[in-house]
Amino acid sequence: MRNHSVRVCVVALAGLLVGGCGNAGITQHFARVDERLDSLEQGNLENDQAIELTRQLTLANAEETRRATQLAMAARDLASGRVHRDEVRRVSLYFEHGSSVLTSESRVLIQGVADEMIDNPGDLACVVGFTDSSGDPEFNGWLSQRRAEKVLRVLASRLGPETVRVTYFGIGSERPVADNDTEAGRRQNRRVEVSVLRTVPSSAEVSSSR
């Protein structure tokens, strides 16, 4: 605004001088001044844009820091027992022997979990991979981790940065849900379990806050 006012005064003065004496040199001089004012205004505009971008980035970083702090506090409270977890949803996904390939039905189920987490920003999720007991234990450990990672990737495609609310790991053939001596039982054990956890204050904490 200040540069614009200076411009108006300079142009008006140039008009008076040119009209009064017809000096071409004065006209050229004030044209050069006008060009310099254009340059100054453009520089000020770019500076304002840079300042605004810096402000927006600062706000974005502050929001990311706030979210990370909330998640860290939630994990701390869970670990210390200050809050307890309600499992509001569990989804079991099944795999072929030695495979980590997800079926189309499994992908639909995973997308449903992601949508629920989006609707409930305070929810956490735990993804655990399993295998049956056949094969090498070391390989089973790797395969169960691989299966959990595949599920995480599908969740991440929907959750984006909110994927930080998901933990995942594989535990091989531990914790079977069926008999590994039968094919039907082994089929049930080759799975990934996705649990959606909603954290709520314990009864003691609620009472103390009243």
- Contact indicator for 130, 191 with CB cutoff of 8 Å: yes
- Contact indicator for 70, 165 with CB cutoff of 8 Å: no
Q: What pLDDT, on the 0 to 100 scale, is given for residue 84?
A: 67
Q: What pLDDT, on the 0 to 100 scale, is given for residue 86?
A: 84
Q: What pLDDT, on the 0 to 100 scale, is given for residue 25?
A: 60
> Which CATH number does 84-202 carry?
3.30.1330.60
pTM exceeding the 0.85 threshold for the entire prediction: no
Domain-wise residue ranges, the chain: 2-61, 84-202
Q: What pLDDT, on the 0 to 100 scale, is given for residue 50?
A: 67
Q: Which two tokens stand for residue 175?
A: 């914790």
Q: Which two tokens stand for residue 150?
A: 């595949």
Calculated CA dihedral for residues 169, 173, 174, 177, nearest 10 degrees: 110
Question: Can you list the residues of the chain whose pLDDT is less than 50?
Answer: 2-21, 205-206, 209
DSSP 162: G
- Contact indicator for 147, 103 with CB cutoff of 8 Å: no
* Distance separating alpha carbons of residues 176 and 179, to the nearest angstrom: 7
Q: What pLDDT, on the 0 to 100 scale, is given for residue 5?
A: 46
Write down the residue that tokens 């140039």 correspond to: 14
* Distance separating alpha carbons of residues 136 and 17, to the nearest angstrom: 96
Work out the burial of residue 126: count CB atoms within 10 Å of its CB; fewer than 13 is exposed, 13-18 middle, 19 or more buried: middle
Residues 6+ apart with CB under 8 A from 10: 30, 33, 34, 37
Q: Which two tokens stand for residue 98?
A: 């030695």
Other beta carbons within 10 angstroms of residue 121's beta carbon come to 10
Q: Which helix (H) or strand (E) holds 158?
A: helix 137-159
